[in-house]
Amino acid sequence: MHETMVAQSLFSTISEESAKQNAKPISAKISCGTLNTINNETLCFAFEAIAKGTICEGIKLEVEHKPIQGRCLNCNESFTVVLSNPSCPKCKNKEFDLLPDAPLMLEEIEFQTE
């Protein structure tokens, strides 16, 4: 449900950029880490509701999920951590350091040309 606040911030930034470009935004690309716990449908639904009747109405949101990585304390391998049952895919060791999670980013916006 925190997607509502994420959608609100996203809406503000896209609106600002659209004003700068003086153009209509069509789509936006977002990326996020595992620990941001973003649900695509909830985010898109919230964004649609907020964007209704504004220049952002109808924007297509594309969300790229960057899974959280870990580093094995035994063999030093970096790997994608499956949070429900994490272990190193190379040596099967279960001891690892979690690497910093990817931040929630607005990567790019696509605009319509007149």
Cα distance between residue 85 and residue 103, in whole Å: 23
> What residues have CB less than 8 Å from 82, skipping those under 6 apart?
none
Binder among 34, 66, 71, 78 for another protein (CB under 8 A): 34
Query: Any contact of residue 76 with another protein (CB under 8 A)?
Result: no
Q: What are φ and ψ of residue 80, in 5° steps?
A: -75, 125
Q: Should residue 45 be labelled a site residue for another protein when binding is judged by CB under 8 A?
A: no
d(CA 86, CA 95): 9
Report if residue 19 touches another protein, rule: CB under 8 A. Answer: no
Closest contact distance (angstroms) between CB of 53 and another protein is: 22
Residues that bind another protein (CB under 8 A): 1-2, 4-6, 9-10, 12-13, 17, 21, 26, 30, 34-37, 83-86, 94-95, 97-98, 103-113
